[in-house]
Amino acid sequence: MALAPFHLAIPVHDLAAARHFYGEVFGCAEGRSSEHWVDFDFFGHQLVIHQAPQMDYQRAAHSNPVDGHEVPVPHFGVVLGWQDWQQLAERLKARHTRFVIEPYVRFAGQVGEQATLFLLDPSGNALEFKAFKDRSQLFAK
């Protein structure tokens, strides 16, 4: 079965800053919009940013320990191809992005080995981008 694109709507307290972040930092094409929301082509998925008051979880994210790092919860993101992930990591580094978790390989030499990085958008929404050299490891136990 072909992978279906997801739709995710998230709150942002500064629509202009979020529009710049998703449009310029990630290079996501804009779709429809109004004065209160914007659709983005987020790596083939539909991400909608909605103007809303900042939520408590955006001010101070909870975290859980994973592989020696504090992973912010909640978070969302995309599983990219290995080369695409490397290019994104380099693009973000070149833009002097402040990472929550710097790009690295998690679970090295173990089941589920993956490249990962975490960052926050201007409203405090946590994002994770990951990649597997062996995509069959995505749901491996």
Give the pLDDT confidence of 36-73 residue by residue, as tens digits.
999 999 999 999 999 999 988 888 878 999 999 999 99
Please, which pLDDT band fits residue 2 given cuts at 50, 70 and 90? confident
Model's pTM, two decimal places? 0.93
Average pLDDT over the chain, rounded to an integer: 94
pLDDT value for 115: 97
pLDDT single digits (tens) 11-45: 999 999 999 999 999 999 999 999 999 999 999 99
What is the fold of 1-53?
2,3-Dihydroxybiphenyl 1,2-Dioxygenase; domain 1 (3.10.180)
Altogether, the residues listed in the chain come to a count of 141
Rounded CA-CA distance 18/6 in Å is 19
Rounded CA-CA distance 133/113 in Å is 8
Rounded CA-CA distance 48/114 in Å is 27
CA angle 21, 27, 29 (to 5 degrees): 100
| Span(s) in the chain for CATH 3.10.180.10 | 1-53, 63-141
pLDDT value for 55: 85
What is the fold of 63-141?
2,3-Dihydroxybiphenyl 1,2-Dioxygenase; domain 1 (3.10.180)
**Residue % of the chain over a pLDDT of 90:** 87
